[in-house]
Amino acid sequence: KAGVTQTPRYLIKTRGQQVTLSCSPISGHRSVSWYQQTPGQGLQFLFEYFSETQRNKGNFPGRFSGRQFSNSRSEMNVSTLELGDSALYLCASSLRSGRTGEQYFGPGTRLTVT
């Protein structure tokens, strides 16, 4: 079974621009969570989607948004990019929502904001 895929793998953007990252979960998984990983803050939860509904959101500004499609694929969008948004963005999928399901991670998208 194919794992979680994320596109693109690397991205360079300029301050003020916006960016969209894509995540395709493992086949059959309906929950998708997003995380931001930086050297200073570590791994921080952004949001989780299940059956096209955002069920949980982390402590990030409204510039960070996401959505999930009927095929469970998910996208996250960051508008008005800031230098501090440079990070590895990880997507994880799970068979079900809630705390019991283990999450399987994709390789991440490395975003650099200049």
Positions touching another protein (CB under 8 A) are 4, 31-33, 35, 42-43, 45, 48-50, 55-56, 58, 90, 92, 94, 97-100, 102-108
State the minimum distance, in angstroms, from the CB of residue 87 to another protein: 13
Distances (CA, A) of 10 to 7, 48, 87: 8, 22, 10
State the minimum distance, in angstroms, from the CB of residue 67 to another protein: 15
Residues 87 and 19: beta-carbon distance below 8 Å:
no
Nearest to 43 by CA among 31, 34, 51: 34
CA atoms within 13 A on the CB side of 77: 10
Q: Which is nearer to another protein, 13 or 101 (CB)?
A: 101
State the minimum distance, in angstroms, from the CB of residue 41 to another protein: 9
Q: Which is nearer to another protein, 49 or 64 (CB)?
A: 49
Work out the burial of residue 96: count CB atoms within 10 Å of its CB; fewer than 13 is exposed, 13-18 middle, 19 or more buried: exposed
State the minimum distance, in angstroms, from the CB of residue 30 to another protein: 11
Q: Which is nearer to another protein, 59 or 70 (CB)?
A: 59
